Amino acid sequence: MIHTVGWPTVRRPFFIDTDTASDDAVALVIALRHPDIDVVGIGIVAGNVPLDHGVQNALYVAELCDRTDVPVFAGEATPLRVPLETGQYVHGQDGMGDIGLPLSGRTPADGHAVDALLDASHRHAGELELVTLGPLTNIARAVERDPTLPDRLERVVVMGAVADHIGNQNPVAEFNMWVDPHAVDVVLRAGLPLEFVGWDISRTYAVMTPDDAAELRAIGTPIAEMCVDIQRVLSEFCATQTKLAGFDLPDPIAMAYAIDPAVATASRRLHCEVETESPLTRGMVVMDLLGFTGHAPNALVVTAADRDRFRSMLFAAVH
C-alpha cells in the first residue's frame, strides 16, 4: 500500500471508466490501492475486449485488491456509430494475457455505467475526477444525456491520442480514440476539463523492460505477479509490432498522472479535434500546435513525463 508524506488526508473521489485489459488492470491497481484516492465507481465500456469481458476483468482486479466495496457498472457494448473492433490481438482473448485466470462468475453492480457516472457527479459535485482508460463511448452518452455534466467535474484525465501524431492503430491514431471517434468528437465539444495523456507518453516513459518486469514481479505479492504475468500477449505485440524494448503501460502512467500531476514534466493547452470519417486517419486527434485554427484550447495535453516518479508509484502500489 502506498504511503505518501505531506499529501492531503481527504480522499479524492475518482470515477474510472475503462475497457479492462492488461494495462487497464494495472491502472486499477494503482488507484484502488492508493490511500488518498476514493474510487467511487468503475464504469466499463467495450474496447480492448467485449463489454462482458471488461466487466469480469475489473471485478477480478477489485477482488484481488480486496476492494469488492467498489461498484463496477457495465456500460456501452458498442461504439456510437461504427462497429466494435476490439484489441484482443494485443491483450489476449480474455484481455488479461490468456494465462488462465478465473475471469467469470462475478456480478457487477445494478445499473448502467452512464447513470453511475452522472449519479457520482451529483454526489461529488465540483470534486469528482473522471479518469478514462478506454474508448469514450460512455462519456459521450453521459454528456448527451446531461450537458451540464462538465460543470460538476473537477478534471477529466483521458488516456488517449498522441501528441506527436504517431499512432498505434493506424499511422496517426491511438487505439482508444480510433475505436469510437464519434464519441471523441462529442467529448471534445462538450466543454469538459480535459487532460490528455497519450500513447506517446507511454512508449517514451512507461516501457517496462524485461529487467523492470523481473524486478516488479520479484516483489512477490499476488498483485505484483499478476501485473507482470497478464502482459504476456502484450509483450509479444510490443516486440513484433510497436518495436518497444518491453511492454508499455499507457493506462497506468495516465492513472499515475491523474493521482499526482507532478508525473507530467511538460504540458500544453491546445485546441484538439478528431477525424471521424477518413479511413486513413480515423481517430486521429489533431492538436493545433501552431494555432493555425485560431480556436481556443479545449484540452491540456501532457507532452513529457517523469519515468522514475511513475515507476515508484507503480512499485509502491503492488507491495
Would you state the pLDDT for residue 10?
Answer: 86
Tell me what pLDDT residue 42 has: 99
For residue 288, is it within any domain?
yes
pLDDT of residue 82 exceeding 80, the answer is yes
Q: Is 5 contained in some domain? A: no
pLDDT above 70 (res 176): yes
Domain membership of residue 123 (yes or no) is yes
Q: For residue range 217-243, what is the model confidence (pLDDT) as tens digits?
A: 999 999 999 999 999 999 999 999 999
2 within domain boundaries: no
Average pLDDT over residues 51-58: 98
Q: Specify the pLDDT at position 3.
A: 46
Q: Is residue 313 in some structural domain?
A: yes
Distance separating alpha carbons of residues 87 and 68, to the nearest angstrom: 27
pLDDT of residue 314: 98
Band the pLDDT of 7: cuts 50, 70, 90: very low
Q: What is the pLDDT of residues 107-122, one digit of tens each?
A: 999 999 999 999 999 9
Domains: count for the chain: 1
**What average pLDDT does the segment 66-86 reach?**
98
The answer as to whether 285 is a domain residue is yes
Average pLDDT over residues 175-199: 98
- Residue 145 in domain: yes
- Is the pLDDT score of 247 beyond 60? yes
| CATH number, residue 259 | 3.90.245.10
What is the span of the domain harbouring residue 44? 12-317
Answer whether residue 3 is part of any domain: no
Give residue-wise pLDDT tens across range 184-195. 999 999 999 999
